[in-house]
Amino acid sequence: MFKFITHKNLLINVLIGIFLSLLLVVLFFLGLGWITGHGEYEKVPAVTGKSIETARALLKARGFNVEVADSVYDLAQPKLSILKQSPEPEATVKKGRTVYLTINRQVAPTVIMPNLVGLSLRSAELYLQGMGLKMGDTTSKPDIARNSILNQIYNGSDIKPGSPVPIGSKINFVVGRGIGEQEIDVPDLVGLTYADAQSLLGSMNITVGLPILLDASIKDTAKAFISKQEPPVYTEIAPGQKVNNKIRQGQVVDLWLTLIAPVKDSTATKQIDNTTTP
């Protein structure tokens, strides 16, 4: 008799356990939609072009989480504006999903300025475009290197190759326009420092050749002295008779440098021009 009762209670307990398990499973699936937000969908608003603050507020108001996934630089777009979003605008997704944003950097990244001196303007323009830089203003001056770049300028000053420059910056150029038509007297540079000679020749639009060092111990060429120049100031066409040499804008003067200022010949010389009869 006791065995029957025990057996009966065990069966009831098993049935009750099975019923409760089934009940829990049913309740779980019935509550799954509520737990996961099943059926609660929302269209993702378009936030591209908006500021990061506006985009965050708009997305959070619709029940989305927001995360900045990346930042790039686009000169044409406002700083800290949204350039890209994922999911795309108007996509239908569940509420609570994270929307990933790509923003426009506030500070432009930099690139290394190349050496464009000696290139043509067209070649320089293509080079700049490939680096994210822009062609600025172009001026010209007399120089034997016609249509070639002589100087590259950023913010009003020469920019050296290897210098960092922000992407999107404008680079200005000075281009050679060939040798000038008008002849002028060759200036007397002997005895001047190299820096003073450069300044004088620059004001005359005459090109300075590479300095020739007569003393290997010269460290600062700017303070070295001119001991010889080519072409010279004059040519002696007869004993005691000298005629000034001529040069055109854009032509080159070569200079020889020394540490010690040369002693110039102070002897008066008779000079003639091409119309004077000796």
The CATH number covering residue 215 comes to: 3.30.10.20
The average confidence (pLDDT) of the chain is 86
- Mean pLDDT across the stretch 33-49? 75
Question: Is 21 part of a structural domain of the chain?
Answer: no
- In percent, the amount of the chain with pLDDT more than 70 equals 86
Lowest mean pLDDT among 31-35, 72-76, 201-205, 206-210: 31-35
pLDDT value of residue 103? 95
Do 189 and 247 lie in one domain? The reply is yes
Residue 63 has pLDDT above 60, yes or no: yes
The answer to whether position 36 is within a domain reads: no
In tens, the pLDDT along 171-225 reads 999 999 888 888 999 999 999 999 999 999 989 989 898 899 998 899 999 999 9
CA dist 196 → 3, 30, 72, 210, 223 (Å): 124, 93, 48, 15, 9
Of 131, 115, 138, nearest in space to 169 by CA: 131
Residue 61 has pLDDT above 60, yes or no: yes
Does one domain contain both 130 and 157? yes
Residue matched to tokens 């210098």: 163
Residue 41 pLDDT more than 90? Answer: no
Percent of the chain with pLDDT over 90: 62
Mean pLDDT across 63-84: 92
Q: Kindly tell me if the per-residue pLDDT of 164 is higher than 80.
A: yes
149 lies in the same domain as 193:
no
Cα(271)–Cα(23) distance, rounded to whole angstroms? 123
Same domain, 191 and 155: no
The predicted structure's pLDDT at residue 268: 41
Please answer whether residues 81 and 51 qualify as being in contact, where contact means their C-beta atoms are separated by less than 8 angstroms: yes
What per-residue confidence (pLDDT) applies to 7?
54
240 and 187 fall within a common domain? yes
- For the cut 70, the answer to whether the pLDDT of residue 265 exceeds it is no
**pLDDT at residue 75, rounded to an integer:** 82
Q: Which residues of 116-151 are buried (b: 16+ CB within 10 A; e: fewer)?
A: bbebeeeebbeebeeebbebeeeeebbbebeebbbe
Domain boundary among 176, 193, 226: 176
* Residues 137, 56: Cα–Cα separation, whole Å: 41
What is d(CA 209, CA 255) in angstroms, rounded to the nearest whole number? 7
Give the domain-ending residue among 58, 88, 104.
Answer: 104
Last residue of a domain, one of 176, 191, 215: 176
197 and 172, same structural domain? no
Residue 57 has pLDDT above 60, yes or no: yes
Decide if 5 is inside a domain.
Answer: no
Same domain, 120 and 98: no
pLDDT tens-digit series, residues 98-135: 999 999 998 889 999 999 999 999 999 999 999 999 99
Domain count, the chain: 3
Check residues 22 and 46 and name the one with the higher pLDDT: 46
Q: Are residues 189 and 135 in the same domain?
A: no
The mean per-residue pLDDT over the stretch 40-48 comes to 89
187 is a domain residue: yes
* Six-digit token string for 209: 């050749």
42: β partners: 93
Residue 169 exposed, middle or buried by CB count within 10 Å (0-12, 13-18, 19+): buried
- Can you give the pLDDT at residue 270? 41
pLDDT at 5: 45
Contact, 271 vs 234, CB < 8 A?
A: yes
The reply to whether 191 falls in a domain is yes
Other Cβ atoms closer than 10 A to 206:
21
Tell me whether residue 211 is in a domain. yes
Question: Residue 256 domain-assigned?
Answer: yes
Q: Does 208 lie in the same domain as 130? A: no
Asked whether residue 154 falls in the same domain as residue 225, the answer is no
Residue 10 within a domain: no
Q: How far apart are CA 207 and CA 209, in angstroms?
A: 6
- Hey, is 176 helix, strand or coil? strand
**Cis peptide upstream of residue 239 (ω within 30 degrees of 0):** no
In this prediction, residue 16 has a pLDDT band, given cuts at 50, 70 and 90, of confident
Same domain, 163 and 189: no
**Per-residue pLDDT, 263:** 84
Q: 141 lies in which domain range?
A: 110-176
Amino acid at 249: Q
For residue 55, pLDDT beyond 80: yes
Q: Are residues 77 and 127 in the same domain?
A: no
Is 168 within 8 Å of 226 (Cβ atoms)? no
